[in-house]
Amino acid sequence: MIEPQILDHPKDLLLRKERIPHIWCPGCGLGSVLSALMDALRTSGLDLKNVAVVSGIGCTGRAAGYLNLDGFHTTHGRAIPYATGLKLANPDLTVIVFSGDGDLAAIGGNHLIHAARRNVDLKVICANNFNYGMTGGQGGPTTPRLARTTTTSYGNVEKPFNLVQLMAACGASYVARWTSAHPHYMKIAMGEMLKKEGFSFLEVIAPCPTNFGRRNKLRDIKLLQRYLEQAVLESQPDIAKADIELDSPILCGKFVDLERTSYLAALREAISAKVKVYDFRGDGRVPLEEAPVKPAAAKAPGKPAEVPSERPIIERPVQIKLAGLGGQGIGLCGLIIGRAAAIFDHNQAVYTQEYSPEARGGASASSIIVASGQIHAPYVTEPDIMVVMAQGAYNKYQKDVRPGSRLIIDKDLVRPKDLPDSVRIQAIPATRLAEEIGQKVVANIVILGFFTALVPHISLTAMQKALKGSIPKGTEELNLRAFETGYDYGRGGTSDRA
């Protein structure tokens, strides 16, 4: 006797059978959409190990969990950015987003438009049933005008999204619409999407008899029947006529199918031009060959420097504040002082900056604390030394000049007033000297040289080394001359109380 054999249905391989029966109602369109996707996947030739499905929340959101693939059931509205992370961290994956209209177009609407704009390589299937089915049939961004839902009892007054038009406008590579009454066309569209590079979008009009149909006099199978009757199938449908009203025709077909540079392709192209080897494998599983290190590393010294013999010992933390107008290079000055102390003198240095909302022109300050021991509080509160390069900055920070401190200024640009007698003023015509050298812009380096000559807390060697490592290539000569000019001016006797 021949034993009867029970064979698997071909689609069963793609289903987590232990999760069936599914949660969807009789007459719901979602089963047909899922079934079409399984057919498309089966005939796609893809290695299904590398196919991941991401869903948001809602009835449609459950789809990811019924497929025997890598499945991610995420938060409401966020399937697309989650999928973006999956795809970019492992470009070998084919990433499908399977979710509903409320999830993708309302709460997730921002992600939808941006993913289409970027043309990220995602296959988005949006089952549109015109309402929030799982939560009880409330109205949403695709609910047709005048339709009744549990939150539009008097008929919906809002104009719904025309999703295919929206996606086309945002730059999607592929845009199509079918209804769940068209399983064959759905499957063809999905098959095309699986092969497509870039962002592809399929809207499937799917009946929700339980919630949407019941409240709009289209109970049970009548809703599906209506979609079948109202559907207008065109080979070259006009996207301008794709609005959906309660009684309007539903224009179906393929609206967009273009060769557009996908996000990944664009990224690969842009970056491979600038970086020697570029591979998107984020998991480190693929060993990659070594390419030369970018000179960025050379900006800061690669090895700890030798401790200089003239390393200044600073018992008590010394607070230094540099002030000027935005663009005068006050920040760079502070940075060089900090680097000199922290890296080349082997002392401690803390550098902070004061920000003003203006990007340029406002008075700004950078502060450095140097010490041989630990520095605790990061802010300069009682400066021992102030360097001021502009009157505007002087006016703003004059309050910080305290008795007994040292004030270093650009003699031509700052007129100090109302100071305690005990303040020691040391002045240099930094901007004028910089102009004599050839460029006003190095006035900050002139004053830095002057500072180095006067202040014992940072060694000359350290300052020179830090300077060299902090200025743009090609400007070394000019900057070194500026530094020397300031330094010599300081060594040649300074004019107190200028």
Q: How far is the CB of 212 from other proteins (least distance, A)?
A: 24
Nearer to other proteins, 284 or 492 (CB): 284
E strand or H helix that includes residue 263: helix 263-272
SS3 for 277-319, per residue? CCCCCCCCCCCCCCCCCCCHHHHCCCCCCCCCCCCCCCCCCEE
Give the separation between CA 237 and CA 176, rounded to whole angstroms.
Answer: 10
Nearer to other proteins, 336 or 385 (CB): 336
Q: How far is the CB of 445 from other proteins (least distance, A)?
A: 18
Nearer to other proteins, 413 or 448 (CB): 448
Strand pairing category for 94-100 and 123-128: parallel
Nearer to other proteins, 30 or 186 (CB): 30
Q: How far is the CB of 327 from other proteins (least distance, A)?
A: 19
Cis peptide before 21 (omega within 30 of 0): yes
Q: How far is the CB of 205 from other proteins (least distance, A)?
A: 27
Q: How far is the CB of 88 from other proteins (least distance, A)?
A: 5
Nearer to other proteins, 232 or 293 (CB): 293
Nearer to other proteins, 105 or 343 (CB): 343
Helix locations, 366-422, DSSP H? 391-397
Q: Give the dihedral of Cα atoms 6, 7, 12, 14; nearest 10 deg.
A: 140
Under 8 Å between Cβ of 442 and 482: yes
Q: How far is the CB of 277 from other proteins (least distance, A)?
A: 5
Q: How far is the CB of 25 from other proteins (least distance, A)?
A: 18
CA of 422: how far to CAs of 146, 427, 496, in Å? 82, 16, 12
Nearer to other proteins, 21 or 492 (CB): 21
| Neighbour count for residue 19 (Cβ, 10 Å) | 13
The one-letter amino acid at 54? V
Nearer to other proteins, 111 or 226 (CB): 111
Q: How far is the CB of 416 from other proteins (least distance, A)?
A: 27
Q: Give the dihedral of Cα atoms 29, 34, 39, 44; nearest 10 deg.
A: 130
Burial class (CB in 10 A: 0-12, 13-18, 19+), 95: buried
Give the separation between CA 420 and CA 302, rounded to whole angstroms.
Answer: 45
SS3 405: coil
Nearer to other proteins, 287 or 492 (CB): 287
Q: How far is the CB of 64 from other proteins (least distance, A)?
A: 8
